[in-house]
Amino acid sequence: MLTEKLKKYFGYSEFRPLQKEIVEAVLGKNDVFVVMPTGGGKSLCYQLPSIVNAGLTIVVSPLIALMKDQVDSLRAMGIRSAFINSTLHPGEIDQVKLELQQGSINLLYVAPERLMMPAFLSFIQGLKIDLFAIDEAHCISEWGHDFRPEYRQLTVLKAQFPKIPIIALTATATPIVQDDIIKQLQLTYPVLFKSSFNRDNLFYRVIPKNNTYDQLLNYLQARANESGIIYCQSRKSVDALAESLHIDGYSALPYHAGMEKQQRSQNQEKFIRDDVKIIVATIAFGMGIDKPNVRFVIHYDLPKNIESYYQETGRAGRDGLASDCILFYSYGDKIKQEYFINEKEDVRDRQVAAEKLQQMIEFCESPMCRRTVLLAYFGETFTEPKCNTCDNCLRQRNVVDATREAQMIMSCVKRVGERFGSNYVIDVLRGSKSERIFQNGHQHLSTYRIGHEIGKNHWQAMIRELTQLGYLKTEMQAGQYPVLQLTDKSAAVLFQGEKVFLSEPEKEKVKPVVIMDQDYDRELFERLRTLRKRIADEESVPPYVVFPDTTLKEMATYYPSTWAGLRTITGVGEAKLKRYGPRFLKVIVGFCQQFHIEPKTKIEPRRQPRKMRGPKATTEQATLALLQQGMTIDDVASKRGITKTTIWGHIEQLILAGEDIIIERFVSLEKQHIIRKVLAELGTDFLRPIKDRLGAGFSYEEIKLVRAKMVADKG
C-alpha cells in the first residue's frame, strides 16, 4: 500500500534509504527522531503518513516565507494541505480553520509562534490530530548552531497532547544536540533513525583567496544558466558583490536581514522561480530555500562553524544531481571571526564559538578527504580511502608511516590525564618550560621533550588528522576548553602494533574537476524547461513545483510519447500526469517527429531489499567472504590491510543488511543476554549509557553487534 501511494502521489517507484522504515514507525504511533541530510527526503516521512492517516498532521516549520511553495507543491500532487501564518488575511485564516473542522485538510503548516498561541492551541484541541512533525528540530537546542527561542515553547506539546506522537527531523545535529532535542520535546522512547550525513553528489573544494573576485568570475564563466548561492560574511559585502556581478553581466540579486522585508522576499521569490540565477546572501541570515536545482554554493567568506557550513552547502544538489561546494579561505577570515567571537559577553558562548571556529579552520587546512573530516564531525566514519569528489582526494597525496609520532602523542595524552588541550600536549612533547607545566609537575613525565625536534605546526597537523581518523577525540569540559582524550582505536596503536599512516604536507595545485552528469538530450531538456517555466508563471508557483530537473532530464533521456510512457518517469504522479501530461507530451512528440527519434523503454530497476548499495557494498562483502572462510577478525584485518575497528563496523552493517552472521563467534551467549537486557532497559539509541552500565568487561563493538542483531530481528 505504501509503495502504491508513493507512486500515485509523489511519482516515485521506490523509497530512499530509511524512508519506508520511518513512515512505518510513524504509522505505528511511535515518537520518532530523524537525523537525515538535506536532500535525503525528510519531508516525505511525514507527508506520506498524512495521506494514510484519517486525521490531521501539523507541521511546525520556521520558514514562513516558504510555506506557500511547500503547500503549492503538495496540492499539485493531489495532497490536501494548507498553511496558517502572518501572510494570510483574517478571512483567509478563518477559511482554513473551517476546512480543518470539516476534515478536508490532511497537512497543515504553522510556525512555532502560531502553534503556541493560547487561542490556536484551544482551537486545535477540537481537531482529530494524528501527528506533530517538528521540522528543523535543531532550532530547539541552545547547543545547536541555529537556536531559536520561540522553538523552546514546543516543550509543552507533550503535556498538552500526551497521546499524539511527534516526529522530530533535522539535518545538522551533533550527538549533544540530538540528546537535547529528545530531552526538550520529551519524546517517549523515540525510534531513532540516523541516515548517513554523506552527500555523494556534492563536490567539496577549498580555495586559498587570491584576488577572490577574479577567482569567482573564473568559476562562473561556464555556468551562465545554472542556479547558485554565494554566501558572504557581511551585509555590505553582499550588496557590493551582487552589484559587481550585475555590472559584469550576471543575473544576481542580494539577500540579507538589513534589506526591506518586501524587497528581500521579492529577491528570494525571483531566485526560487528561476527569474534570477544567483542569490548573494549573508552567512548569518539563513535562507531556508527549498529549491532543488541549486548547482553551486560558494562561500565567499569563512563560515563560523561546521554545522552552518554543512547546512548551507546542503542547499546545493537537493535533486541528487552533481553540484559544487566551494569555499574561499584566508587567514584574515579567521581573524575577523575571532573579533566577533570576542565581542560576545558570555564566557561559555565565547569558548564554544571559538572551539567551533577552530574545527572549521581545521576542515579548511586539513590535507585529508573533505568527506572524512566533515562526517567525523557528526560522529560518522567514512570508510572509503578516497571519495574522489573533493579537492584533496584528487591531489597527489603522499602518506608516511607516523606510528612513532602517533604513539608519542597518545602516550602524552594519557600521561597528562586526558585533561588538557592539544597546545598543552604539544608543549609537553616539545619540552616547554612554561610555568603551567612546572606547576603540574609534567616536566617529570617520560613524554616530556621527546618530540622537541618536531615543529609545533607539524604536531598540530598530526593531532588534527589523528582526531579526524578517530584515534583521538576532543571533549568540551563544562565551562572549560576542549581536552584531548584517547579512543578505543588508540589501544591498537599503543599496545597491539597497529601502524598509523598520516599525510605529508603537499604543495601541488588542485586540478580542475568535472563531475559527469547523466546522458540526456540537452536540446529537448531546454525545450521542456522553457515549457515548465511558462506553466509555473501561469500558475504563480516555482518551476520545481511543476517538475524538478531530474524529471525533465529523464524525459529527455527516454522520450516518452504516450501516457503509459510518461507514467514511468520518476516524479510523475497521477495528479501531475493529468494536470501537465498533455502539454509535456506535445513537446516531446513534436521533438521526436522533428528529429526522427524513437521513444526508449524505461525499465524499472528491481529493488533488492536488505542489500547494501553503492561503494560500501564492495568492501563489506569482501569482509563477509573472508569471514565465511572461517577467518577471525584479526585474520581479516591483516589480510585486507585495514583496522580491526573497521572490520567490526563491516560486521555490524552486514547484520543490519540481513546477512546471516552468527554473532556467537564474536560475542558469547552470556554477554549477549546481559547486553540485550540493558539495551531493553535503556533503549538502543545511544551507546555511552549502555557502556557505562555494562562496565569495562564489555566493548563498544560487542554492544553494536548485539544492537544490530536486535534491530535486524525486528526488521
Each residue's pLDDT tens digit, 542-594:
999 999 999 999 999 999 999 999 999 999 999 999 999 999 999 999 999 99
> What pLDDT is attached to residue 608?
42
pLDDT of 636 above 70: yes
Closest among 143, 470, 83, 150 to 307, alpha carbons compared: 143
- Residue 584 CA: distances (Å) to CA of 191, 500, 514: 42, 57, 31
pLDDT of 396 above 50: yes
Mean residue pLDDT across the chain: 86
Domain map (residue ranges) of the chain: 2-194, 202-377, 399-503, 522-585, 616-714
CATH fold group of domain 616-714: Arc Repressor Mutant, subunit A (1.10.10)
Burial 370-387 (b: 16+ CB within 10 A, else e): bbbbbbbbbebebbbeeb
pLDDT of 657 above 60: yes
The winner for highest mean pLDDT among 31-40, 286-295, 623-632 is 31-40
Average pLDDT over residues 612-620: 49
Neighbour tally for 692: CB within 10 Å? 10
Class of domain 202-377: alpha beta
Task: Confirm if 362 and 392 have CB atoms less than 8 A apart.
Answer: no
Average pLDDT over residues 206-226: 88
Helices and strands of the chain, counted as H and E runs: 32, 17
281-290, 452-461, 671-680: the lowest-pLDDT one: 281-290
Model confidence pLDDT, tens digit, residues 138-163: 888 876 566 777 888 898 899 999 99
Q: Kindly state the DSSP code that residue 390 receives in the 8-state scheme.
A: B
> What pLDDT is attached to residue 367?
82
Q: What's the rounded Cα separation, in Å, for the pair 11 and 447?
A: 63
Closest among 608, 683, 706 to 17, alpha carbons compared: 608
pLDDT of 675 above 90: no
Average pLDDT over residues 673-696: 79
SS3 of 181, please? Answer: helix
**Could you identify the residue written with the cell 500526469?**
577
> What pLDDT is attached to residue 149?
76
Closest among 372, 336, 371, 375 to 357, alpha carbons compared: 336
138-142, 172-176, 296-300, 536-540: the lowest-pLDDT one: 172-176
The 3-state secondary structure of 62-89 reads CCHHHHHHHHHHHHHCCCCEEEECCCCC
* Superfamily, domain 2-194: P-loop containing nucleotide triphosphate hydrolases (3.40.50.300)
> What pLDDT is attached to residue 480?
52
Burial 636-663 (b: 16+ CB within 10 A, else e): bbeebebbbbbbbbbbbbbbbbebebeb
pLDDT of 286 above 80: no
Average pLDDT over residues 4-15: 91
DSSP 519-585: P--HHHHHHHHHHHHHHHHHHTS-HHHH--HHHHHHHHHH---SHHHHHTSTT--HHHHHHHHHHHH
138-147, 501-510, 621-630: the lowest-pLDDT one: 501-510
**Confidence tier at 285 by pLDDT (50, 70, 90):** low
CA angle 555, 559, 561 (to 5 degrees): 110
pLDDT of 612 above 50: no
pLDDT of 606 above 50: no
**Confidence tier at 485 by pLDDT (50, 70, 90):** very high
> What pLDDT is attached to residue 670?
77
R_g (Cα) of the chain, nearest Å = 27
Average pLDDT over residues 83-90: 91
**Confidence tier at 57 by pLDDT (50, 70, 90):** very high
What type of residue sits at position 430?
Answer: R
Model confidence pLDDT, tens digit, residues 217-276: 999 988 878 999 999 988 999 999 999 999 999 999 999 988 998 898 889 889 989 999
**Confidence tier at 607 by pLDDT (50, 70, 90):** very low
Q: Which residues contact 263 (CB under 8 A, 6 or more apart)?
A: none
Q: Kindly state the DSSP code that residue 54 receives in the 8-state scheme.
A: S
pLDDT of 95 above 90: yes
> What pLDDT is attached to residue 534?
95
- Residue 696 CA: distances (Å) to CA of 217, 637, 672, 691, 708: 58, 24, 15, 8, 21
Helices (H), 142-234: 157-160, 175-185, 212-220
Q: What's the rounded Cα separation, in Å, for the pair 527 and 523?
A: 6
> What pLDDT is attached to residue 645?
79
120-134, 234-248, 379-393, 548-562: the lowest-pLDDT one: 379-393
Angle between helices 644-656 and 633-640 (to 10 degrees): 110
High-pLDDT (> 70) share of the chain, %: 92
Strands 202-208 and 56-60, sheet pairing: unpaired
Strands 399-401 and 472-476, sheet pairing: unpaired
CATH annotation of 399-503: 1.10.10.10
**Confidence tier at 508 by pLDDT (50, 70, 90):** very low
pLDDT of 188 above 80: yes
CATH fold group of domain 522-585: DNA polymerase; domain 1 (1.10.150)
Task: Confirm if 536 and 546 have CB atoms less than 8 A apart.
Answer: yes
Instruction: Check for a shared fold between 522-585 and 616-714.
Output: no
> What pLDDT is attached to residue 614?
39
